[in-house]
């Protein structure tokens, strides 16, 4: 009779040990891969939504039923007719550590209390917005909308970004946004930093996105060990 030979207990234990070692090596790499993709996805969405909000502010026209804004008098016979050409209401992006919104005013002179929410982005686990934009950005929306620890930027109908004093944000030179030894050559009007934590560790992968007035952007990536701040002078360009 033919006899079938199976695996011994020792052979099974050796095989199990090899699988365990391989899994131990693979899991950290998977966690790094997950953090990298979560962070890159978020920073790309922020840069994309910045451009979308700017486009909405430039292209949306709303008829003004009250007041004189957006109206002209056109001669007609012995009198004149009022033509309502409409106005372009402001658009804003409001950021906090675990999400952001795109808001649009109902009309040119309406307040932000009645603004329409065009998009709300809730962030994924283990990823958050570390810093964004500049110190002179708008904060008036934060107070009126009741967001906690939030910052906001306002887009005008001409596509510019307003600062807290009502003027336009001046572009910052590319030297302020070094990425390793690469000159981004972009005069930035907006910047955001995303920190994606590597699961099971205190390390993180950082991404910084900057955008200039023309809509050109640059994405820089760096590694932050043990809860350290993101140092992009040691970073590398992901996309530009």
**pLDDT tens digits, 55-111:** 888 887 766 555 555 555 556 666 655 554 556 788 888 887 778 889 888 777 777
Residue 223: domain span:
11-64+90-239
Pairwise CA distance, residues 115 & 105, whole Å: 4
Share of the chain above pLDDT 70, in %: 68
Residue 5 inside a domain? The answer is no
Residue 3 inside a domain? The answer is no
- Total structural domains within the chain: 1
Handedness of CA 61, 92, 51, 37 (dihedral sign): negative
pTM value is 0.75
82 strand-pairing partners: 73
Residue 85 inside a domain? The answer is no
Residue 69 inside a domain? The answer is no
Residue 111: CB partners within 8 Å, gap ≥ 6? 105, 144
Residue 229 inside a domain? The answer is yes
Residue 1 inside a domain? The answer is no
Query: Three-state SS string across 206-228, please?
Result: EEEEEEECCCCEEEEEEEECCCC
* Tens digits of residue pLDDT in 123-172: 766 677 766 555 445 545 554 555 556 777 888 888 788 765 667 777 88
Residue 142 inside a domain? The answer is yes
Q: How confident is the model at residue 220 (pLDDT cuts 50, 70, 90)?
A: very high
Q: Evaluate if residue 217 carries a pLDDT over 50.
A: yes
Residue 120 inside a domain? The answer is yes
Question: What sections of the chain are H helices per DSSP?
Answer: 9-59, 140-145
How confident is the model at residue 155, as a pLDDT? 86
Of 45-54, 149-158, 216-225, least confident by mean pLDDT is 149-158
């Amino acid at each position: 009779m033919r006899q079938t030979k199976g695996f011994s207990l020792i052979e099974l234990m050796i095989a199990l040990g090899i699988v365990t070692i391989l899994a131990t090596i693979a899991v950290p790499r998977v966690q790094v891969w997950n953090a990298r993709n979560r962070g890159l996805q978020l920073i790309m969405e922020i840069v994309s939504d910045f451009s979308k909000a700017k486009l909405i502010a430039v292209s949306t026209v709303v008829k003004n039923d009250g007041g004189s804004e957006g109206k002209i008098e056109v001669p007609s016979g012995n009198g004149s007719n009022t033509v309502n050409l409409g106005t372009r209401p402001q658009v804003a992006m409001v950021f906090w550590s675990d999400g952001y919104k795109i808001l649009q005013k109902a009309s040119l002179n309406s307040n932000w209390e009645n603004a329409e929410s065009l998009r709300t982005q809730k962030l994924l686990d283990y990823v958050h917005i570390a810093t964004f934009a500049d110190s002179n950005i708008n904060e008036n929306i934060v107070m009126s909308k009741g967001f906690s620890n939030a910052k906001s930027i306002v887009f005008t109908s001409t596509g510019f970004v307003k600062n807290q004093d009502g003027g336009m944000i001046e572009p910052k030179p590319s030297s302020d946004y070094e990425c390793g030894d690469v000159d981004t050559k972009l005069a930035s009007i907006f910047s955001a930093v995303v920190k994606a934590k590597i699961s099971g560790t205190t390390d993180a992968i950082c991404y910084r996105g900057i955008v200039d007035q023309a809509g050109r952007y640059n994405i820089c990536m760096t590694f932050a060990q043990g809860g350290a701040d993101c140092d992009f002078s040691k970073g590398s360009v992901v996309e530009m």
